[in-house]
Structure formats: C-alpha cells, structure tokens
Amino acid sequence: MDPTHQVHNTVNGYCWQEVGRNNTKIVCSNSGRKRITIIGAINALTLKPTAIITEASCDKEMIKMSLTEIRKDYPDSKTIYIFLDNAKYSRNYDVCEHAEKLNIELVFLPSYSPNLNLIERLWKFLKKEIRKNAYYETFEEFKKAIFEFFQNIEQHENELKTLLTLNFEII
C-alpha cells in the first residue's frame, strides 16, 4: 500500500532535441498545479487493486479510510497483511490502532526500498499509460482518465502479470 500523487501535466517519454530535426515530437503541457492523490493497495496474488482517488492530500485520515476500504474488499479474510513504507502518516498511532481494530497487520518495509513494494510498480505503469506523452486539456479529463484506468484495469491483465510478480532478488 502506498499513495501516489499524479500531477495534471504531461510526462515526456522521449528526449529533447533541436527543433526541426527528424522525428521531433511537440507535446503540449499544462500548469501542473493541480494533482490527484491515489492511495492504493494491490493484492499480490490476484493483482486486484483497491484505490481511493481524491484531490485531498494524504494524511492519517486518508490512510485509515484506505484500510477500511481494503477490509471491505476482503470481508472473509481473517487477517490482512499490508506492506507499506515508513511514512509518518502510515506509522501514526491512530492508523495502527485502526488497523488493529480491522484485523489488519501493518508490515513496514525497510527505508529506501520501494522496489519491495508491488504498488510502486503499478504506479510506474499508471504513469506510463496515463501521463507519458499524453495531454489532457482540462483537469476533469485527466481525472476521468485515471478513474477509467482503474475501472478497466483488467484490460492490462497480461502486462500486469509480468510486471507485478513476487520475484525478488536477494542480495
């Protein structure tokens, strides 16, 4: 589980070059002042995501809300294990207490190890699919694209199966 903050702006997937050269691509851009916060978790076995999409910032209340949504998605599971980073809002006493009430075990990953968190790979894929070389005239169009990504995530099933594996190299 981890939040991501997607800014309403284009992410260039190509390098810059002198104007007029062969294969020059012109990509429009926005101000980048508005953003979407997605607090997400992904089931490591089924690859089913749980996501809260909001324009608000991420804080302990948003994390608690996410934990509640995850519990709703898995009502029959006795204990749910969630792997997350060491952000202050994740380690907050109220968050830990709320997780305990929901029978959710929070497992904190070592510092500076985003490669161990599967959701980070989903965020990278989302960025590639939604933002790379894509221009959304309005913030509403941008928001809609993110919502549609999660509503139609099964369309990316084959790519996600290869990207979101549990193969980790131990060094």
| CATH classification at residue 37 | 3.30.420.10
pTM, to two decimals:
0.85
Residue 165 counted as domain residue:
no
Establish if 21 belongs to a structural domain. yes
pLDDT at 16 over 70: no
80: in domain: yes
Query: Among 9-18, 98-107, 111-120, 158-167, whose mean pLDDT is lowest?
Result: 9-18
Residues in contact with 73: Cβ distance below 8 Å, sequence separation at least 6, in sequence order: 48, 50
* 3-state DSSP helix/strand/coil % of the chain, to nearest 5: 40, 20, 40
pLDDT of residue 20: 66
Q: Which residue type is seen at 93?
A: Y
Contact criterion met (CB below 8 Å) for 57 and 65: no
Q: 19 pLDDT exceeds 90?
A: no
| Residue range of the domain that includes 78 | 2-159
pLDDT over threshold 70, residue 25: no
Note whether residue 171 is domain-resident. Answer: no
- Is 51 part of a structural domain of the chain? yes
**Residue 155 confidence (pLDDT):** 94
Beta-strand relationship, 35-42 and 104-108: unpaired
Q: Is residue 7 part of a domain?
A: yes
Q: Decide if pLDDT at 8 tops 80.
A: yes
- DSSP E strand boundaries for the chain: 2-7, 35-42, 49-54, 80-84, 104-108
End-to-end C-alpha distance for the chain, whole angstroms: 24
Is residue 52 in some structural domain?
yes
Report the pLDDT averaged over residues 91-120.
92
Whether 169 is covered by a domain: the verdict is no
3-state secondary structure of 107: strand
Mean pLDDT of the chain: 88
Range in 2-11, 60-69, 96-105 the model is least confident about: 2-11
If one counts the domains in the chain, the total is: 1
Biggest CA–CA distance in the chain, Å, is 62
Judged against a pLDDT cut of 90, whether residue 159 lies above it is answered with yes
**C-alpha distances in Å from residue 89, one per residue of 2, 13, 63, 92, 112:** 11, 32, 7, 5, 16
